[in-house]
Amino acid sequence: MYEKDGEKYFVVDEHIHFWDASPENTTNKYGEGFIKCFYDYHKNLSPEEYVWSLEKYRKYSEEDMMHDLFEVGHVDVGIFQSTYLSDFYNTGFNTLERNSVLKDKYPDKFIVNGSFDPRFEQKGLEAFERQIQEHSLKGVKLYTAEWNGDSHGWELDDEWSLKHLDKCVEHGVKNIHVHKGPTIWPLNKDSFDVADVDRVASMYPELNFIVEHVGLPRLEDFCWIGTQEPNVYGGLAVAMPFIHAKPRYFAQIIGELLYWIGEDRILFASDYALWQPKWLVEKFVDFQYPGDPEFDDYAEITPDIKRKILGLNAAKLYDLRVPDELQLVTVGEDTGFDVTEKPATER
Amino acid sequence: MIYHNEVLDALSGVRDPELDEPITDLDFVSALEIDGDSVLVRLRLPTYFCAPNFAYLMVADAQAAALSVPGVERATIFLDDHYASEEINGGVNERRGFDGAFPEKTAGPDLEGLRTTFRRKSFVSRQEQLCRTLRAEGRPAEELANMRLEDLPPSEEFETYLARRAELGLDVSAEAPLIVDPDGNRVPEEAVVQHLRFAKTVRVSIEGNASLCRGLLSTRYGIPEREEKTA
């Protein structure tokens, strides 16, 4: 919970990790390249006083995490998005098993999402079903660019992916977090393409598809899909830290998202330990658009809109109990875009 | 005798297809060596995992640009510090083509389809930039919908817009309408506001990506961040 100027905010951090990229756990040069790439993101976009050493960044402790999220970070509930990267890290990067240790210890503070990889076909499907039951999953994180031997990616509407999504429907795993990455097959197509999200969102109206990083670097494609599919959401991981290092760009992103998909389908995330929620939450609550014409067509972001983005939208998806005093001040107001106005000239 | 400037000048014609800016402005060219009639260019990118298809295009385009300089007989291009450096450098320098560089990983022989997708985005973005300036000068969008290319005074933004438009093979003659979609169809007056509204999202996306990439490159190589142009 965060309070400023008499306004209170319930905070759900919908994208966090407890990763191990220590040298001992790193398998090859790709794992080495991956964590160094993450570290450059961290270093480039964080305020100086929040930059860690590479050594700490590769493997931080439970104490670091509890402190940064819950003691000083204003977070009420954090959602682990398990990411395996088994080709890069010996015991995986940020696995369900590793995250569950913290979940078991602090059951009210964490939600753990599972994951599946359709390339394991029937065997994977059976393991996924056991995972759902064992961990009472409500969501999964899918990394479609994950390497697996010779394969450098998959698509959400691949045959075996659909079989897994059917299982999600069957067991009420209703929140499907999708992370598009840069190495999908085939290489001659745009590897950040989010078109497969569009297709599965239409096929599974009972599931919610949360596109992580709001589709960046293809914000425009994501906005387009978001206007057409009511069950598509945008997670702000990676977009949030621009609020410090690239404030103009942050203002444009949030303005575009509110314009196209509206205030009910945007979710706050720090992507911890890429960035720390404390400064992100504080800067977001203080946020206002710069005062030049570029921002004239964006509506004001009220405290209620900030409340929805910071926690209430995610609380709804995960059926979290929110104390009365942290609910919306104004009930029933809505912004967002009328889908029928969308021009059809760009595609 | 081949001069550095000539080669750099040629390289400045190579753009990052995704960011729509010259690789020289983006600081992607890290070294240039000339030895007789041979040129060696080293390129670097903001991350180890930058999309290999765009990386390949830049390496291949840089080679073609270097070879276009009179007197250059051989041009070797090395992309450094990328997970697929070996495949890309081999593919370009040994002229194996994209599908030769990544056998089994591509569903087509070349990247022209991908290039076109991003040329369309660049075109839409440059159009919005130009129209934004014109609207700020007091011309309503509906008026722009009825203007022809010949109605516009020369400007740098206009030149860039025409260049992107020509790349797509669209009509750039004096009497052609100012605002067309990426297929060349005139956008009617009643649709122009929404057309430009979506175009703005495309521009925001491209500019934002370019800004992020500049920052990451500067962090990765410990070099100062290049100044960016914003609309």
Q: Which CATH architecture has domain A117-235?
A: Alpha-Beta Barrel (3.20)
Q: How far is B115 from chain A (nearest CA, A)?
A: 9
Q: What is the pLDDT of residues B181-193, one digit of tens each?
A: 999 999 999 999 9
Q: What is the pLDDT of residues A330-347, one digit of tens each?
A: 765 555 444 444 443 343
Average pLDDT for residues B105-117, to the nearest whole number? 82
A253 with B212: Cβ contact below 8 A = no
Cβ contacts of A159-165, under 8 Å, gap ≥ 24? A159/A118, A160/A118, A160/A119, A160/A121, A160/A124, A160/A125, A161/A118, A161/A200, A162/A200, A162/A203, A163/A118, A163/A125, A164/A116, A164/A118, A164/A124, A164/A125, A164/A128, A165/A200, A165/A203, A165/A204, A165/A207
Q: Rounding to the nearest 10 degrees, give the CA dihedral for residues B49, B53, B58, B59.
A: 80
Q: Name chain A contacts of B141, Cβ cutoff 8 Å.
A: none
Predicted pLDDT at A182? 58
ipTM of the complex: 0.90
Put simply, the chain A residues between 266 and 295 with a CB less than 8 A from any chain B CB are 293-294
Q: Strand, coil or helix: what is A237?
A: coil
CB-based contact, A245 to chain B, within 8 Å = yes
CA A204 to chain centre: 20
Dist CA A218 CA A56 (whole Å): 31
Q: Name chain B contacts of A252, Cβ cutoff 8 Å.
A: 204, 208
Q: Strand, coil or helix: what is A66?
A: helix
Q: Residue B205: closest CA among chain A residues belongs to which residue?
A: A219
Structural domain boundaries in chain B: 4-110, 113-217
CB-based contact, A46 to chain B, within 8 Å = no
Structural domain boundaries in chain A: 1-113+245-347, 117-235
Closest partner CB to A190 (pick from B117, B201, B215): B117
Average pLDDT, chain A: 91
Q: Name chain B contacts of A218, Cβ cutoff 8 Å.
A: 205
Average pLDDT for residues B10-38, to the nearest whole number? 97
Encoded amino acid at A309, one letter:
I
Q: Residue A294: closest CA among chain B residues belongs to which residue?
A: B231
Polymer length of chain B:
231
Q: Name chain B contacts of A341, Cβ cutoff 8 Å.
A: 194
Put simply, the chain A residues between 70 and 129 with a CB less than 8 A from any chain B CB are none
Contact assessment for residue A215 and residue A181, using Cβ atoms and an 8 Å cutoff: no
Contact assessment for residue A223 and residue A254, using Cβ atoms and an 8 Å cutoff: no
Average pLDDT, chain B: 93
Predicted pLDDT at B228? 62
Predicted pLDDT at A341? 45
CB-based contact, A256 to chain B, within 8 Å = yes
Predicted pLDDT at B110? 77
Residue A9 has phi, psi (to 5 degrees) of -130, 130
Contact assessment for residue B92 and residue B59, using Cβ atoms and an 8 Å cutoff: yes
A346 with B124: Cβ contact below 8 A = yes
Predicted pLDDT at A192? 77
Is residue B135 predicted with pLDDT exceeding 60? yes
Predicted pLDDT at A149? 77
CB-based contact, A136 to chain B, within 8 Å = no
Q: What is the pLDDT of residues A50-91, one digit of tens each?
A: 999 999 999 999 999 999 999 999 999 999 998 888 989 999
Q: What angle do CA A77, A140, A163 make, to 5 degrees?
A: 160
Predicted pLDDT at A144? 86
Confidence of residue A185 (pLDDT cuts 50, 70, 90): low
What is B4-110's CATH superfamily? Fe-S cluster assembly (FSCA) (3.30.300.130)
Predicted pLDDT at A190? 74
Q: Residue B117: closest CA among chain A residues belongs to which residue?
A: A190
CA A305 to chain centre: 18
B211 with A345: Cβ contact below 8 A = no
| Residue whose structure tokens are 């939208």 | A313
Q: How far is B171 from chain A (nearest CA, A)?
A: 18
**H/E element, A111:** strand A110-113
Closest partner CB to A186 (pick from B105, B197, B230): B105
Q: Is this prediction's pTM over 0.80?
A: yes
Which is more confident, A334 or B228? B228
A40 with B105: Cβ contact below 8 A = no
